[in-house]
Amino acid sequence: MEFQILYESKKSRARVGVLDTPHGQVETPVFMPVGTQGSVKAVCSQDLAQASVKMILANTYHLYLRPGHELIRSLGGLHRFMNWPHPILTDSGGFQVYSLAKLRKITEEGVVFQSHLDGSRHFLGPKEAMEIQQALGADIIMAFDECVAYPAERQYVALSVELTTKWARQCREIHQSGEQALFGIVQGGVYRDIREKSAKDLVELDFDGYAIGGLSVGEDQPTRMEVIRFTRDFLPDHKPVYLMGMGRPEEIREAVEAGVDMFDCVLPTRNARNGTLFTSKGPLTIKNARYIDDERPLDPECGCYTCRNYSRAYLRHLFMARELLAYRLNTIHNLHFYARYMEQIREQIKAEAQNLAK
C-alpha cells in the first residue's frame, strides 16, 4: 500500500490523499461501511458500488468464528468470497473481545474468550490475529490490541497500553505479506500522556498507518474530540490516520479538520434499519405519520437509487409493514449520503487548497 497526499488545507490539518492498494485506489478522507460478517447488512456488492462505496471493513472475530478463516482462504479469500473486488480493511478482533467482558480473560499472551454463538472456548492473540487476517486477504489489516472501557482507572489504562504495544511489536514481527498493509492502534483512554507514549512507541515500529482506537466507548463528544486532536499530534503526517468506530457526520468533519483520513461506523446502516435516514436537511425519521402520503423523495438533492425511484410515503409503508425491502432501500440511501458527504468534504479541501495556491 502507498499513501500520497494530494491537497492540504491551510486553515486546518485536513488533507486529501489517495490510498493505492492491491484492489484499487481510494481517495481520502474516506468512510468505510461495516461489513461485519463479510456482508454490509441488507445490501449486496452491486448496491455498494452503485452507492459509490470504495472500501469496506470486515470483522476478524466474527469471520474466524463463522464460517472460519481457513474456509474463506480455500475459497479464494474474502474479496472473492463476498464478491467485492475493491479494497477491504479487517479489524484485529480486539474491540469485539472488549465487548465480551463477561466472557473473556486477558493474559500477557492474548485473550481467552467464549464464543457468543455457542459458548465454545477460543484463544486470540497477536499471532492468531495476524494469521486470520492474512488468510482473509484484506488490503489493510490491524495489529491486535486491547480496548479499555470508559471510565477506566489510570493505572489500568497504562498497563493496558504496555500490553497493546507488546502485542503490536509481535504483530509487526509476524507480518510478512508485502501486499497487506499493517496499521498499529493507539490506545490510552482519555489520558494525554499515556496516549502520547502509545503513539510514540508505535511510530518507532514504523507501521504502514496508524489508527486512533479506544473511543466511542462512553465518553462525551467534547472529550472525544479533544482526545482525537491531541492523539493526532503524535502521529506522522506522511502516514494515513484512521479513526475507529466514529461516524456522526458532524464529528467526521471535525476529525477531518484534525487530520484524520479514514473512518468506519455502523451508524448509517444501523440507523437505516431503524428508520432514521440522513438527508441534506438533517435526519429524517421515516415512521413519522407526516410522511404517510408524502410523494417527495427522501432528499430532493440526493441522486441515489432510492431517491430516484421511491417516495417517502412508500418507504414509510415498507417500514411500518416490516417489509425487508425497507432495510435495503434505506441502507442504499444512507450509504450514498455518506459517500457523497465524504466527496463534498474532499471537494472543499481541494477547492480551498487550489484557491490559496493562486
From CA 195, how far away is CA 228, in angstroms rounded? 10
> Cβ distance 318 to 325 under 8 Å?
yes
Contacts within 8 Å (CB) and 24+ apart, 253-257: 253/345, 254/225, 254/228, 255/225, 255/228, 256/14, 256/29, 256/345, 256/349, 257/9, 257/12, 257/13, 257/14
* Residues with catalytic function: 91, 264
* Closest listed residue to residue 217, CA positions, set 105, 110, 95: 95
Backbone angles phi, psi at 149, to 5 degrees: -75, 170
Give Rg (Cα) of the chain: 20
